[in-house]
């Protein structure tokens, strides 16, 4: 049905004013702009979203989240192996005498060499920069500049540091490594333990960066000689049981947690990091402390020296004969022994106030004596007791 539209009922675009609208509550339909002003939710409009678009958004979101986590963990622009390492302190047993249940001051050492890769351990020194370990564990001196040989230290937080060997001492089978980067928490060195036959010891180390591990053993002889394929050590503690190669350089403690020394593994030719039956000894704590403190104060390692040559005894000869004294075969020209009047054929019976049974005891005494020390010597010459005095000389470590 059609009808006419009045002048006051029509749509006039030229009109400036409009009639006021009816009250909002009286209308069934509202303009969206009015809904927004009222704070009411806009009418829901169903929309179809492509599943491909949803999948793409999910992938992008996951990538952004993963990147954020990687950046927070220090994985971008940093050493990638950090993310896969576990702190050495993870598996540390409770203890006393400086252990404190933290494993502080023990690092894992990785020797990355294609020809002979090895894993072991080290003890962080007081300055937090240097680490002492077994000399047999680190690359030989000739391989130090080999680009294919790398040395890494992994601290208790699982952080990897580059390392460089800065001192070697074949007489004690100790090496000192300088760690690059920030300081590492040092090992707490309590009273040195006294090792004797039957002493129970625990060696602590990380091996391949899998967390702190421990190996228990027992001392067979507290003051002994260890002659292996690569070392000729005197005055060390031998152990009853072999130890795995990854225990090299481990920190040894006694039952009370006192520092017993550093584990030395005899890496015979062909031995690998997976070997499980290698001979081991402990370099005594007093000797480790002496060597490391000398290095930290002077930058070098040196030992006392007399300058005599004598045959190395065999264990069998010592057990059967039990003859006191070290028979001198030769005296080095210009040596402290020569200046003291010692001759070939003399039998040394006491050196620096200690009885000696062989040349090994003389060498062990020199490792305990500072260069420049006046040392009394008692000897037998043609059956006569002779007194002498020598000023202990100096022999730099190599």
Give the list of residues 6+ apart from residue 130 with CB closer than 8 angstroms, or none.
124, 166, 176, 177, 178, 179, 292, 295, 296
Question: What distance in Å separates the CA atoms of residue 384 and residue 147, rounded to the nearest whole number?
Answer: 60
Span of 250-259, 320-329, 361-370 with lowest mean pLDDT: 320-329
pLDDT computed for residue 22 by the predictor:
52
State yes or no: pLDDT of 99 exceeds 60. no
Tokens of 289: 């402390």
pLDDT computed for residue 311 by the predictor:
83
Which helix (DSSP H) or strand (DSSP E) does residue 286 occupy? helix 285-298
Cβ proximity of 389 and 375 under 8 Å: yes
pLDDT computed for residue 155 by the predictor:
82
Counting runs of H as helices and runs of E as strands, what totals does the chain give?
Answer: 6, 21
Cβ proximity of 296 and 166 under 8 Å: no
Span of 46-50, 80-84, 129-133, 188-192 with lowest mean pLDDT: 80-84
Average pLDDT over residues 130-147: 81
More confident residue, 58 or 180: 180
pLDDT tier, 156 (very low <50, low <70, confident <90, very high otherwise): confident
Q: Could you report the per-residue pLDDT of 275-291, keeping only the tens digit for each?
A: 556 889 999 999 999 99
Average pLDDT over residues 229-255: 90
More confident residue, 28 or 344: 344
pLDDT computed for residue 147 by the predictor:
62
pLDDT computed for residue 220 by the predictor:
95
The values of phi and psi at residue 204, to 5°, are: -115, 130
Average pLDDT over residues 383-393: 95
pLDDT computed for residue 31 by the predictor:
53
pLDDT tier, 65 (very low <50, low <70, confident <90, very high otherwise): very low
pLDDT computed for residue 331 by the predictor:
96
Average pLDDT over residues 329-356: 94
State yes or no: pLDDT of 295 exceeds 60. yes
> Of 195, 286, 175, 193, which is closest to residue 238 (Cα–Cα)?
195
The DSSP string of 326-380 is: EE--EE-TTSHHHHTT--TT-EEEEETTEE-SSHHHHHHHHHTS-TT-EEEEEEE
Give the list of residues 6+ apart from residue 207 with CB closer than 8 angstroms, or none.
108, 119, 120, 121, 213, 244, 246, 247
More confident residue, 99 or 113: 113
State yes or no: pLDDT of 83 exceeds 60. no
pLDDT computed for residue 254 by the predictor:
93
> Of 376, 370, 380, 373, which is closest to residue 389 (Cα–Cα)?
376
pLDDT computed for residue 116 by the predictor:
76
pLDDT computed for residue 233 by the predictor:
92
Average pLDDT over residues 383-397: 94
pLDDT computed for residue 158 by the predictor:
81
Cβ proximity of 376 and 352 under 8 Å: yes
Question: What distance in Å separates the CA atoms of residue 32 and residue 361, rounded to the nearest whole number?
Answer: 102
State yes or no: pLDDT of 341 exceeds 50. yes
pLDDT tier, 210 (very low <50, low <70, confident <90, very high otherwise): low
More confident residue, 231 or 334: 334
Q: What is the mean pLDDT of the chain?
A: 76
């Amino acid at each position: 049905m059609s009808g006419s539209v009045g002048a006051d009922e029509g749509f006039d675009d030229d009109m400036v004013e409009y009639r006021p609208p009816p009250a909002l509550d009286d209308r069934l339909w509202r303009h969206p702009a009015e809904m927004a002003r009222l704070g009411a939710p806009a009418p829901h409009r169903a929309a179809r979203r492509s599943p491909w678009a949803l999948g793409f958004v999910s992938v992008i979101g996951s990538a952004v989240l993963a990147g954020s986590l990687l950046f927070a963990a220090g994985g971008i622009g940093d050493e990638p192996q950090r993310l896969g390492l576990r702190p050495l302190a993870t598996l540390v047993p409770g203890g006393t005498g400086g252990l404190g249940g933290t494993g502080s001051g023990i690092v894992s050492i990785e020797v990355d060499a294609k020809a002979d890769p090895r894993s072991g351990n080290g003890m962080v020194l007081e300055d937090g920069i240097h680490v002492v370990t077994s000399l047999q564990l680190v690359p030989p001196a000739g391989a130090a500049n080999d680009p294919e040989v790398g040395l890494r230290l992994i601290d208790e937080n699982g952080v990897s540091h580059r390392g460089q060997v800065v001192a070697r001492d074949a007489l004690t089978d100790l090496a000192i490594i300088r760690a690059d980067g920030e300081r590492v928490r040092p090992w707490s060195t309590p009273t040195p333990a006294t090792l004797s036959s039957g002493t129970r010891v625990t060696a602590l180390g990380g091996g391949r960066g899998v967390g702190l591990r421990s190996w228990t053993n027992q001392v067979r002889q507290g003051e002994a000689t260890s002659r292996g394929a690569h070392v000729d050590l005197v005055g060390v503690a031998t152990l009853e049981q072999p130890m795995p190669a990854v225990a090299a350089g481990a920190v040894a403690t006694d039952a009370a947690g006192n520092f017993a020394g550093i584990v030395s593994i005899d890496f015979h030719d062909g031995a690998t990091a997976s070997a499980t039956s290698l001979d081991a000894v402990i370099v005594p704590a007093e000797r480790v402390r002496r060597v490391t403190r000398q290095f930290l104060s002077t930058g070098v390692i040196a030992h006392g020296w007399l300058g005599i040559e004598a045959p190395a005894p065999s264990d069998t000869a010592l057990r059967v004969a039990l003859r006191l004294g070290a028979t001198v075969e030769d005296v080095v020209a210009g040596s402290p022994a020569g200046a003291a009047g010692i001759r070939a054929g003399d039998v040394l019976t006491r050196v620096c106030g200690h009885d000696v049974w062989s040349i090994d005891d003389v060498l062990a005494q020199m490792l305990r004596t500072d260069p420049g020390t006046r040392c009394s010597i008692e000897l037998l010459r043609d059956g006569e007791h002779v007194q002498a005095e020598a000023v202990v000389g100096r022999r730099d470590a190599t």
